[in-house]
Amino acid sequence: MSCPPRVEGHLKKLPGVESAKVDFDSKTATVVVNGPVTDDMLVKAVANDVSCTAEVQKSAQE
């Protein structure tokens, strides 16, 4: 399995994550949360997957 589906799976397992969509070309993930999810939790969710790397940049939407 390639990196994007694995990253999506890791993120979706977190309590409070409603959805996760990874864009391979732009190397970004859009994560919709509804609960107490921290940046650290998002990074750790994929950090153990040695073939993928994670960096968090916030974009708040109202």
All structural domains of the chain with their residue ranges: 3-47
Q: Determine the pLDDT at residue 17.
A: 94
What is the fold of 3-47?
Answer: Alpha-Beta Plaits (3.30.70)
The model's pLDDT over 18-61, given as tens digits with 9 standing for 90+, comes to 999 988 788 788 899 998 899 889 888 887 665 666 566 666 55
pTM for the full predicted model: 0.74
Query: Which residue from 55, 50, 60 is spatially nearest to 6, judged by alpha carbons?
Result: 50
Contact 8, 29 (CB under 8 A): yes
| CA distance readout (Å), 62 to 32, 41, 53, 56 | 12, 22, 28, 19
The three-state secondary structure class of 40 is: helix
Beta bridge partners of 17: 33
Q: Determine the pLDDT at residue 29.
A: 84
More confident residue, 42 or 1: 42
Question: Predicted confidence band at 12 (pLDDT cuts at 50, 70, 90)?
Answer: very high
